[in-house]
Structure 1
Amino acid sequence: MICVPRTQANTVTDALRRYDVLREAHQVQTRLLVQLTAADSLRRRQVVTLRSAADSSARATQLLSRRLDVSQQRSQLWQGRARRRGWLVAGLTTVLGSIVYLSLAP
């Protein structure tokens, strides 16, 4: 057995304790770094997903706006046609009524 002076043994024991503490601290730092990396990756995916959802929403809004514009244009077109038909029917009715009236007159 090797005899080592007590102060030197205490120094070695302290060094080993410090090494264990540093090794454990390094392991904790490594675990934290892994967790932070995973959280950052998740955040980036969420940002991409949110941007994609916002883009889809904007495209859907534009499409609905265009459809509404087309629908309003068609409605105005049909209203114009109905007005013209109304005038045509009223005119024809007046003409036919006059013809019938005149044909029945003595």
Structure 2
Amino acid sequence: MTKYLISFPSCAMQIADEDRPQVSADAHAVIREAKGAGVYVFGGGIDEDIAPVLVTADGTISAETTHLDGGFCVLEVPTRAEAERWAARIAAACRTPQELRQFGYDPES
């Protein structure tokens, strides 16, 4: 089976304050369904209060990095079509489009 990253940037979450509780409930419900279906690997939101750093091979740490924020989950499903269906369900629950990316094959996993 293949792992897929489903994610969105923080700026995409244009949700009115009064709608946030329902969006949160709907998003959590879809994730519970993915867990129940046995396809959920892990997920969460990026902690935007902690600055990212770039760590090089020699251990040098730099504040220069690309910007990544928002939320994500990783699902493991047998087909891209199934990943697209889950991404659509998550997009509907979160009220924002989701980016879908496929992880490369890892022969050691």
Settle same-fold status: TM greater than 0.5.
no
The structure showing larger relative contact order (alpha-carbon pairs under 8 Å, at least 6 residues apart) is 2
Q: TM-score, normalised by structure 2?
A: 0.21
Structure possessing the higher radius of gyration over alpha carbons: 1
Per residue, is there more helix in 1 or in 2? 1
